[in-house]
Amino acid sequence: MPKVRTKLVTWDEVVGWCRELAEKIEKSGYRPDIIVAIARGGYVPARLLCDFLDIHDLVSIQVLHWGKAAEITAVAHVKYPYTLDLSGKRILLVDDIIDTGDSVIVARDYITKHWKPAELKVAAMQWISPVAKIKPDFYVDEVKEWVWYQYPWTRAEDTTNFFEKIVSERAKEGKTEWSFDELVEEFKEWYGIDVGEAYYRLALRRLLESGKLEERDGRLVVKSE
């Protein structure tokens, strides 16, 4: 059993979900003038929705959530709070997944207040209903048990973070030396997915560059804090 419920998402699945999402939006009768992608997770779905809905206007708003160092205190906020005049426009606000809902709530409230659209509706591929503070107007999957969606656009970042987590957790138990193969095996066990050699190599390079791991006599050694 994996330690963290994780779903490896393929590009084809993303395209399929966005096509389905577009169909739902079309059927509802809502005709957005402009799509606003929540950065960074909303970029790919937003671009696909532009294609499937034949929408030519696409802008973005970046919302930062949990600061890595200050997980509990960090509040979701708009990183570049610029202003656009979207008066009279119908907006479709797009993210990949609604988890806590904090990012989308912050984006929605900011846009409503400062960009003054005529109407705003929210679309996401996944909606984690038991934890989300908001229900999107359009979604494909209602996710009833929390799971980490390993989307293709965060594969390098997630693999690096997952490696880091494994290494630091196991260091607490006294394991401070690894081979590349051991690390990959443990990754597959913990997360129940296989992202492929190229991503493991890339993630490892990042950990070596950041100094979290060191190479010594062909072994990967955990830097003590």
Contacting residues toward ligand ADP, per CB under 6 A = 41, 65, 76, 95-104, 148-149
Phi, psi of 83 (to 5 degrees): -115, 140
- Pick the closer one to ligand ADP by CB: 77 or 90: 77
Shortest separation between residue 223's beta carbon and ligand ADP, angstroms: 28
Q: Which runs of E-coded beta strand occur in the chain?
A: 6-8, 34-39, 58-64, 77-78, 90-98, 119-128, 138-143, 148-150, 177-178, 213-216, 219-222
Instruction: State how far the Cα of 125 lies from the Cα of 139, in Å rounded to an integer.
Output: 5
Nearer to ligand ADP, 75 or 118 (CB): 75
Least distance (Å) between residue 158 CB and ligand ADP: 8
CB of 10 to ligand ADP, least distance (A): 14
Q: List all residues 6 or more positions away from 167 whose beta carbon is below 8 Å from its beta carbon.
A: 178, 183, 207, 212, 213, 222
Of 133 and 188, the one with the shorter C-beta distance to ligand ADP is 133
Euclidean distance between CA atoms 143 and 101, whole angstroms = 13
**């509040």: which residue's tokens?**
75
Q: Nearest to ligand ADP by Cβ — which residue?
A: 41
Q: Considering the complex, what minimum distance in angstroms separates the CB of residue 193 from ligand ADP?
A: 13
Nearer to ligand ADP by Cβ, of 24 and 65: the residue is 65
Rounded to 5 degrees, φ, ψ at 158 are: -65, -45
Nearer to ligand ADP, 101 or 117 (CB): 101
Instruction: Give me the least distance between CB of 8 and ligand ADP, in Å please.
Output: 11
